[in-house]
């Protein structure tokens, strides 16, 4: 077969570009993994305090419930309720603290005079069962990514990449983050328009499971499952939705179904992904905005920027478990009196839209909490490079399990001047950790049965 020099040169350029695009697949060496449990926590966070001591050393997290907590209850009292802010940031003193604020936070402070960030003493309250750390150590030397970063292999019941080498590995830690293996909540998703009017987008029952974290099973090919049964508003009552995400999402893709009572049939729903507007939030965010990022990583290139000290929502028990809806949702933004912010170290990951791919966001920045790997904030930019949306997740660890919890989150639309809040549970019984549902409950037939009015 004839090949000329131009073809070979072009092939070399393509090969170089391809090798640069594909993230490193090698697991950690045994020497690299030795830092876990020594200078690093069992899941890869820095154990030490910050230089000025504002961020304390990690001492194991919060594992003793405060007075007032009832075992088995879904509402978790605020263990830090008596504390006062150590500083407050608004538009007037924004410049003094700008280096430790996300672009979205700065935009909100600049746009709304009533917006305020109350910064409280930092508590590294996230804790895990011992077996999570034990399995993370095993995963560290065997876990690998595949399919251009979109799949993982060799990991189970522990964080796959406690010392990440690229953005894909860091984002996988977020995707499979530990919330417990199964939990249930009755939730509300709410939107606030530019005039300050609050609207119920959806409410219902949420069942979520992370088979990846079932320590009794030697392997699992699924990392996340969710079943939503809508009970309101009236026009949506009886609808249901189910999503199942595999670890090998690079080849198997997401499986999703919806049940519409008017049609009395279950439909496969492959469009419940990426930048499809999420009807559960009345279009206030996209499907891959869920938990600030969710689903496949095939649309973006993910770059690990590094670790920074940032002021983010944290230990937000007052907002997640103690707030009344009318007190929390105010015009333009959540009530600053009810949102607790703290200074924490976060991993910064930048996601840039790949050439040839489409998405409403051209660039995204994610801020992953070092102690839990959960995304606690995000910035989303449109095709013009303009900051479009700002996302925040409200960390409130379940000290009784123990496990982090960041499933109440929201997005501010900085162009339309509205915002959404997903997973409000304070008035509907809170969050209850539960046993996994039988496998028969994760079928299309079961979805139809659950959704009948």
Which residues are bridge partners to 151 per DSSP?
146
Strand duo 418-424 + 182-192: pairing: antiparallel
Give the three-class secondary structure for 444. Answer: helix
Q: What is the pLDDT of residue 451?
A: 55
Q: How far apart are CA 89 and CA 265, in angstroms?
A: 51
| CB burial of residue 271 (10 Å; 0-12, 13-18, 19+) | exposed
Q: How far apart are CA 176 and CA 167, in angstroms?
A: 14
Token pair for residue 104?
């979205």
- Whether a cis peptide bond, with omega within 30° of 0, leads into 402 is yes
Token pair for residue 164?
């990440």
Q: What is the pLDDT of residue 450?
A: 67
Tally the residues of the chain. Answer: 453
Query: CA 311, 312, 314, 316: dihedral to nearest 10 degrees?
Result: 120
Low-confidence ranges of the chain (pLDDT < 70): 1-26, 450-453
What DSSP string describes 11-43? HHHHHHHHHHHSPP-PPPPHHHHTTBTTTB-TT
Q: What is the pLDDT of residues 23-52, one digit of tens each?
A: 445 689 999 999 999 999 999 999 999 999
Which residues are bridge partners to 271 per DSSP?
none
CB atoms within 10 A of CB 453: 8
Phi-psi region of 163 (alpha: psi -120 to 50; beta: other; left: phi over 0): beta
What DSSP string describes 41-58? -TTS-B-SPPTTSSSPPP
Q: What is the pLDDT of residue 20?
A: 43
From the list 122, 135, 124, the residue with the least C-alpha distance to 59 is 124
Q: How far apart are CA 205 and CA 201, in angstroms?
A: 14
Alpha helices in 90-238, H assignment, sequence order:
94-97, 103-111, 130-140, 167-175
Angle ∠(116,322,280) on CA atoms, nearest 5: 80
- Dihedrals φ, ψ of 153, to 5°? -145, 150
CA atoms within 13 A on the CB side of 430: 22
pTM comes to 0.93
């Amino acid at each position: 077969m004839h090949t000329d020099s131009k073809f070979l040169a072009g092939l070399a350029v393509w090969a170089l570009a391809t090798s640069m695009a594909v993230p490193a697949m090698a697991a950690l060496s045994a020497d690299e993994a030795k830092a876990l449990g020594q200078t690093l926590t069992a899941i890869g966070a820095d154990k030490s305090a910050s230089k000025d001591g504002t961020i304390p050393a990690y001492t194991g997290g919060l594992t003793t419930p405060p007075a007032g907590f009832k075992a088995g209850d879904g509402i978790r009292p605020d263990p830090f309720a008596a504390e006062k802010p150590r500083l407050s940031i608004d538009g007037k003193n924004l410049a003094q603290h700008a280096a430790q604020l996300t672009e979205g936070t700065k935009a909100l402070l600049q746009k709304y005079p009533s917006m305020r960030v109350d910064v409280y003493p930092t508590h590294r309250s996230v804790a895990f069962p011992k077996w999570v750390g034990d399995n993370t150590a095993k995963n560290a030397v065997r876990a690998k990514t595949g399919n251009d970063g979109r799949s993982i292999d060799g990991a189970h019941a522990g964080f796959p990449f406690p010392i990440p080498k690229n953005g894909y590995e860091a984002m996988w830690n977020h995707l499979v983050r530990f919330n417990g293996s199964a939990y249930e909540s009755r939730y509300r998703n709410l939107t606030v328009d530019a005039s300050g009017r609050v609207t119920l987008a959806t409410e219902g029952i949420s069942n979520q499971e992370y088979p990846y974290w079932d320590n009794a099973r030697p392997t699992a090919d699924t990392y996340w499952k969710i079943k939503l049964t809508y009970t309101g508003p009236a026009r949506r009552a009886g609808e249901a939705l189910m999503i199942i995400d595999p670890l090998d999402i690079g080849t198997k893709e997401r499986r999703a179904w919806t049940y519409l009572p008017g049609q009395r049939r279950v439909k496969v729903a492959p469009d419940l992904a990426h930048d499809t507007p999420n009807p559960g939030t009345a279009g206030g965010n996209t499907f891959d905005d869920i938990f600030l990022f969710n689903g496949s990583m095939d649309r973006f290139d993910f770059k690990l920027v590094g670790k920074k000290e940032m002021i983010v929502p944290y230990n937000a028990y007052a907002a997640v478990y103690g707030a009344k809806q009318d007190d929390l949702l105010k015009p333009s933004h959540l009530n600053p009196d009810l949102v607790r912010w703290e200074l924490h170290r976060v991993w910064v990951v930048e996601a840039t839209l790949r050439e040839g791919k489409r998405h409403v966001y051209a660039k995204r920045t994610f801020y992953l909490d070092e102690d839990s790997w959960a995304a606690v904030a995000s910035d989303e930019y449109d095709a013009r490079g303009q900051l479009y949306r700002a996302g925040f997740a409200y960390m409130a660890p379940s000290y009784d399990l123990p496990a982090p919890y960041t499933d109440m989150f929201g997005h501010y639309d900085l162009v339309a001047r509205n915002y959404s809040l997903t997973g409000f549970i304070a008035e509907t019984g809170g969050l209850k950790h539960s046993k996994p549902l039988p496998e028969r409950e994760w079928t299309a037939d079961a979805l139809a049965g659950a959704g009948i009015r």
